């Protein structure tokens, strides 16, 4: 069967309300941006010329209709984006602290994305995809958890490359143990893992990244592991090969929402173009360098999904600048 879709992702699609100054009355103003990690990843891939599709659910409301329209406008296949009258579209409010840290407040109890059911998954879409991508947020609802596991099983049976980004948001979970169980499931089934410095410490209890990744590799045997270090750059581990790439400085950083998703989209793009077999240290560095540059650009813009960088912008940054310490943060 022909692979007509490069990457299909499953998960949350929501509205990110990000701070955008003060009103004349000194009240906080929030800008409504389409978001959700899986679709941010797809948006970056679409910018790089790849065919993408999304599996998920929104509410049968104004926000849900708006999100569907936004995905279609940037070229993401929405055949398996469903609407549900039983719950509204999920909303997230993002507060940015000085230094790049963020705090999320979610209105999602439940959100429509949690109500995606196993029988609503379009298995044909997965069957014609090269990569299937998912995270942990879809494990926070019973229906969506079952649907996610079913989709992963479908991808495994069809020998698809599976990528996983935990994208942990502790406010959505009842306990740390539940988070670790979801992370464990993702790591057991993925071929590509993108994990942040905070997440790897949370999961392994280790602050030494080499030792933490060695622990993960010995337990899960994941071919490619990428660790994002925020303002310190990123690491890639491929078997016994380790590569590091420094971040890019951006003086106009506004927020870091979507930086990790941008990074992930670029990693998947590299795998689509170069495969997952026989990668060497130079290739890993080139992959990380491109992803770091793209992630730094998105930090200079509000939102993520609608403002992903063009390939030409990323290449211009690669050409003009040498990566240095102190660049983009929070991915």
SS (H, E, C) the chain: CCCCEEEEEECCCEEEEEEEEECCCCCEEEEEEEECHHHHHHHHHHHCCCCEEEEEEEECCHHHHHHHHHHHHHCEEEEEEEEECCCCCCEEEEEECCCCCEEEEEECCCCHHHHCCHHHCCHHHHHCEEEEEECCHHHCCHHHHHHHHHHHHHHHHCCCEEEECCCCCHHHCCCHHHHHHHHHHHHHHCCEEEEEHHHHHHHHCCCCHHHHHHHHHHHHCCCEEEEECHHHCEEEEECCEEEEECCCCCCCCCCCCCHHHHHHHHHHHHHHHHCCCCCCHHHHHHHHHHHHHHHHHHCCCCCCCCCCCCHHHHHHHHHHCCCCCCCCCCC
Residue-wise pLDDT for 64-115, tens only, equals 999 999 999 999 999 999 999 999 999 988 777 666 666 778 999 899 999 9
10, 156, 238, 272 from 49: Cα distances, Å: 20, 25, 26, 11
* Structure-derived torsion over alpha carbons of residues 245, 236, 197, 139, reported in degrees to the nearest 10: 140
329 pLDDT more than 50: no
Q: Domain range for residue 186?
A: 5-13+35-87+114-320
In the predicted structure, residue 165 carries a pLDDT above the cut 70: yes
Q: Name the token pair of 301.
A: 């813009």
Exposed, middle or buried by CB within 10 Å (0-12, 13-18, 19+), for 255?
buried
pLDDT value at residue 19: 81
- Tell me, yes or no, whether 133 lies in a domain: yes
Share of the chain above pLDDT 90, in %: 82
pLDDT-derived band of residue 252, with 50, 70 and 90 as boundaries? confident
CATH number at residue 169: 3.40.1190.20
Q: Is 118 a residue whose pLDDT tops 90?
A: yes
Given a contact cutoff of 8 angstroms between Cβ atoms, the answer to whether 80 and 11 are in contact is no
Cα–Cα distance measured from residue 12 to residue 56, given in angstroms and rounded to the nearest whole number: 6
**Token pair in block for residue 98:** 């000085």
* CB proximity list for 105: less than 8 A, separation 6 or greater: 92, 93, 95, 171
The answer as to whether 186 is a domain residue is yes
Considering only residues 249 and 229, tell me which one the structure prediction assigns the higher pLDDT: 229
- Whether the pLDDT of residue 259 is over 60: the answer is yes
pLDDT value of position 327 = 41
Residue 291 clears pLDDT 90, i.e. is over it: yes
- How far, in Å, CA of 53 to CA of 328, rounded? 28
Q: How many domains does the chain have?
A: 1
Can you tell me the mean pLDDT for 27-31? 89
Contact 187, 216 (CB under 8 A): yes
Q: Say yes or no to pLDDT of 1 above 70.
A: no
Confidence of residue 250 (pLDDT cuts 50, 70, 90): confident
Sign (positive/negative) of CA torsion 23, 25, 28, 31? Answer: negative
Look over the chain and give the mean of its residue pLDDT values, rounded to a whole number: 93
98 inside domain? no
- % residues pLDDT > 70 (the chain): 94
Length of the chain counted residue by residue: 331
Q: Does residue 21 belong to any structural domain of this protein?
A: no
**Given pLDDT bands bounded at 50, 70 and 90, which one contains residue 245?**
very high
Supply the pLDDT for residue 100.
Answer: 60
Record the tokens describing residue 292, joined without a space. Answer: 């770091």
Q: 53 near 81, Cβ under 8 Å?
A: no
Is pLDDT above 80 for 324? no
pLDDT confidence bin for 62, thresholds 50/70/90: very high
Calculate mean pLDDT across residues 14-18: 90
Within-domain flag for 95: no
pLDDT-based confidence at residue 255 (cuts at 50, 70, 90): confident
């Amino acid at each position: 069967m022909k692979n007509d879709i490069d990457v299909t992702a499953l998960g949350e699609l929501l509205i990110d309300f990000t701070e955008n100054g003060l009103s004349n009355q000194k009240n906080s103003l929030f800008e409504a941006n389409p978001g959700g990690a899986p679709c941010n990843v797809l948006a970056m891939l679409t910018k790089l010329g790849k065919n993408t599709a999304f599996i998920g659910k929104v509410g049968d409301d104004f926000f849900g209709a708006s999100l569907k329209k936004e995905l279609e406008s940037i070229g993401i296949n929405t055949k398996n984006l469903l609407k549900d009258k039983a719950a509204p579209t999920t909303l997230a409010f993002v507060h940015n602290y000085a230094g790049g840290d963020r705090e999320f407040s979610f209105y999602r109890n439940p959100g429509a994305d949690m109500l995606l059911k196993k029988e609503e998954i379009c298995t044909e879409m997965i069957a014609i995809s090269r990569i299937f991508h998912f995270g942990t947020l879809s494990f926070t609802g019973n229906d969506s958890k079952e649907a996610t596991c079913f989709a992963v099983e479908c991808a495994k049976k069809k020998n698809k490359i599976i990528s996983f980004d935990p994208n942990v948001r502790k406010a959505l979970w009842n306990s740390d143990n539940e988070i670790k169980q979801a992370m464990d499931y993702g790591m057991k089934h993925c071929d590509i893992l993108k994990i942040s410095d905070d997440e790897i410490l949370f999961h392994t209890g280790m602050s030494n990244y080499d030792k933490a990744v060695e622990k993960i590799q010995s337990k899960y045997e994941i071919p490619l592991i990428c660790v994002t270090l925020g303002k310190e750059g990123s690491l890639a581990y491929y078997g016994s090969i380790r590569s590091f790439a420094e971040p890019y400085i951006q003086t106009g950083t506004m927020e870091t929402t979507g930086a990790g998703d941008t990074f992930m989209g670029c990693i998947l793009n590299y795998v689509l173009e170069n495969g997952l077999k026989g990668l060497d240290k130079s290739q890993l560095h080139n992959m990380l360098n491109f992803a770091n540059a793209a992630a730094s650009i998105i930090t200079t813009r509000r939102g993520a999904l609608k403002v992903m960088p063009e390939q030409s912008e990323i290449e211009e940054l690669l050409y003009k600048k040498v990566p240095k310490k102190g660049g983009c943060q929070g991915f």
